[in-house]
Structure 1
Amino acid sequence: MKEFNSINEVEDKNYVVSVGMYDGVHLGHQRLIEKLKEKSQQLNLENLIVTFEIHPKTVLNANPPKLLMTKEDKKHYLEKLGVDNVLFLNFNKQISEMGAEKFVKRILVNKLNASAIIIGENHRFGNKQKGDYHFLKEIAGKYNFEVYKVPIVKFENKRISSTWVRKTVLEGKLRLTKELLNRFYFIKGYVESGSGRGKRLGYPTANIEGVETKLPLDGIYSSYVEYDSKRYPAMSYIGYAPTYEGEKRKVEVHIFDFNDNIYGEELKVYFVAKIRNEEYFSTEEDLKKKLMIDKNVTLSILADEDLLF
């Protein structure tokens, strides 16, 4: 897959194009990509996804959400799904104020040579959100491109969207998140030294810093940790360590049967299911007893065939 970080880098050829944030690359996005690939094969053209590194609401000063994935991870999943080209368009004030027809004419037609445009049934674009499938159909003849609509994708009769996926993550409903993404939700960061309390308790933890994406609700989670291209069963903690009157929100993972020195290394933490909320314990002995229960629950959950990688 070819990556372009400026519209001027895009190779001068005709494309089948889709535009969107594609945050999370959820099942709805995956259906769009299937249609994109199908049409590019039929027309014997390469496909191109136009997306953004930052959420448009960042420019619009409209309380932008914490994203579900980094730019690098978005690239990885788009390539894995068979996308030929991706353009990370700089969403700036000029683009935010551009009307729908001007965006189509200047960007999609004049700059990207769109022979066909794939759009979700509910997708809207352009200043004041006036562009949609029906709008594209009206101007397709004028600008000589084809347009194809992809129906809404639902789960349990509810439309799948990045907003819904973020809500499931925020609420700690990671099994549902997996259904919407068709994979486990993960975060990634680097291991830094901590207080050493986990080791004293018999559950040494890797303290994860530098996480750029959305964190689940505070609590304990059954997890997998990926390090050096290998995955290990683990339990993860997100919270403020109320037993120790912590003031900073932490992400910690205890990897089962693992003793490597991984300070400074990057880890991916895949969340499988929430075990419990974070709790205050009056003694470390009470905390140790609870952690043993948490470990047994985690191992039981990870033994479920439906929750294996």
Structure 2
Amino acid sequence: MELIEDLNQIKAPFKNAVITIGNFDGVHKGHQALLNQVIEKGTRIGGTCIAMTFEPHPLRALGLSSPPLITRRDQKIELIESSGIDVLLCLPFDKAFAQISAQEFIEDILVKKIGMKTIIIGPDYTFGKNRIGNIALLKSKEKEFGYETIVPDWIKDVETGTERISSTKIRNLVMDGHVDRAKHYLGRYYQIRGKVIKGRERGGSQLGCPTANIKLHDELCPKFGVYAVTVETIHGNFNGVANIGYSPTFGDGMFTIEVHILDFKEDIYDSRIRVNMVERLRDEIKFSNIEQLSNQIKKDIQKAKEILK
């Protein structure tokens, strides 16, 4: 996949460009369906399959409140690349870009710069200064500029069968600890990423359960508690148990994400790991002593093994 981060990198329009545009936060099943339709259409017409997204999120660029991101830039790029898209335009969004009119966006950027022949977007897509551009405007310009607008139906919520899959739904599930349900919408486990750092250093010495402590890279943090997880490390992939929160038994008020990796003895300090959140096991609990906590951890590990087997 070719990654383009500045429109000036485009020296000539792409051949028969088929494009979809969006924030793609989460790159969930709804987004995946759009990307797949771009690839199917592009393949049929011998065209270039393109996705366009923006950094930072337009709301942030305009100084407005925005929710925590499900996928930060690096993971979003990886996921879009894995879909089979030919070109990803990951463009900087700022106040100047926000002033581009809807007409200019269609004519100067999509048609002349990119060479758009087909655009495939969701029914609620808006664009241009003051978000005046919409599906109706795109369709009204088709004959003038020689392109086609395709607006697929929403991909339905697997639980209700009626509501559409949305980033908001997934975000709320993760924040409520329902990571197992979020998987149905993402098409994969929700993943947190981070660098392994020094923590309390009590896991191995006091609990007999060494942990990798993560400096969280992602914005969306699952509900505090204990989770069955799988862990991707530089040494391979392993099962594990993660605790997210303040570990109230220690009473030091330190927020941590601690991951005990099963059957693992490698030194991974300063390396980055990826933790796939499989299922929430329980809330955080304040125990009277270290022995009670240690016994509970053993039970958590056993339960995680049963879930992950």
Q: Give the alignment's Cα RMSD to 1 decimal.
A: 1.5
- Long gaps (5+) in structure 2: none
Aligned pair partner of 2:177 in 146, 168, 172: 172
| Residues 132-191 of structure 1: CA deviation (Å, up to 9, x unaligned) | 323211122222211111210112222111122111111111111110011111111111
Q: Give the partner amino acid of 1:267.
A: I
Change (3 A) 1:158 1:246: farther
Instruction: Confirm whether residue 260 of structure 1 aligns to residue 247 of structure 2.
Output: no
User: Greater CA deviation, 263-272 or 65-74?
Assistant: 65-74
Take 1:230 and 1:57, find their aligned partners in 2: how far apart are those partners?
Answer: 38
The aligned residue for residue 118 of structure 1 is: 120
The aligned residue for residue 270 of structure 1 is: 276
The aligned residue for residue 307 of structure 1 is: none
TM-score, length of structure 1 as denominator length: 0.93
Take 2:235 and 2:103, find their aligned partners in 1: how far apart are those partners?
Answer: 46
Query: How far apart are residue 215 of structure 1 and its match?
Result: 1.2
Change (3 A) 1:229 1:5: farther
Aligned pair partner of 1:127 in 116, 126, 129: 129
Take 2:308 and 2:199, find their aligned partners in 1: how far apart are those partners?
Answer: 27
Aligned pair partner of 1:79 in 81, 90, 93: 81
Take 1:61 and 1:187, find their aligned partners in 2: how far apart are those partners?
Answer: 26
SS of structure 2 residue aligned to 1:34: helix
SS of structure 2 residue aligned to 1:195: coil
| Residues 94-133 of structure 1: CA deviation (Å, up to 9, x unaligned) | 2223332232223212321211111112322233333332
Query: How far apart are residue 230 of structure 1 and its match?
Result: 1.8
SS of structure 2 residue aligned to 1:150: coil
Structure 1 contact 233–302 (Cα < 8 Å) conserved: yes
The aligned residue for residue 282 of structure 1 is: 288
SS of structure 1 residue aligned to 2:133: coil
Aligned pair partner of 1:99 in 98, 101, 106: 101
The aligned residue for residue 214 of structure 1 is: 220
Structure 2 contact 195–271 (Cα < 8 Å) conserved: yes
The aligned residue for residue 142 of structure 2 is: 140
Structure 1 contact 189–266 (Cα < 8 Å) conserved: yes
Structure 1 contact 49–87 (Cα < 8 Å) conserved: yes
Structure 1 contact 122–152 (Cα < 8 Å) conserved: no
SS of structure 2 residue aligned to 1:243: coil
Take 1:186 and 1:263, find their aligned partners in 2: how far apart are those partners?
Answer: 19
The aligned residue for residue 4 of structure 1 is: 4
What aligned pairs does 1:203-242 form with structure 2 within 5 A after superposition?
203-228=209-234, 230-242=236-248
SS of structure 2 residue aligned to 1:231: strand
Query: How far apart are residue 210 of structure 1 and its match?
Result: 4.3
Take 1:164 and 1:49, find their aligned partners in 2: how far apart are those partners?
Answer: 23
Query: How far apart are residue 214 of structure 1 and its match?
Result: 1.4
| Residues 236-287 of structure 1: CA deviation (Å, up to 9, x unaligned) | 0110121112323211100011111111111100000111111111211111
Take 1:253 and 1:230, find their aligned partners in 2: how far apart are those partners?
Answer: 15
Query: How far apart are residue 11 of structure 1 and its match?
Result: 4.3
User: Greater CA deviation, 257-266 or 137-146?
Assistant: 137-146
Change (3 A) 1:17 1:288: same
Query: How far apart are residue 91 of structure 1 and its match?
Result: 0.7
Take 1:135 and 1:208, find their aligned partners in 2: how far apart are those partners?
Answer: 47
Take 2:226 and 2:141, find their aligned partners in 1: how far apart are those partners?
Answer: 52
Structure 1 contact 10–87 (Cα < 8 Å) conserved: no
Take 2:24 and 2:103, find their aligned partners in 1: how far apart are those partners?
Answer: 22
Structure 2 contact 216–257 (Cα < 8 Å) conserved: no
The share of aligned pairs that are identical, in percent, is 34
Structure 1 contact 57–64 (Cα < 8 Å) conserved: yes
User: Greater CA deviation, 89-98 or 196-205?
Assistant: 89-98
| Residues 56-79 of structure 1: CA deviation (Å, up to 9, x unaligned) | 110122212221223222221111
- Long gaps (5+) in structure 1: 304-309
Take 1:130 and 1:51, find their aligned partners in 2: how far apart are those partners?
Answer: 18
| Residues 202-254 of structure 1: CA deviation (Å, up to 9, x unaligned) | 11100001413311111100000001262101000110121112323211100
Aligned length: 303
Structure 1 contact 99–126 (Cα < 8 Å) conserved: yes
Query: How far apart are residue 19 of structure 1 and its match?
Result: 0.9
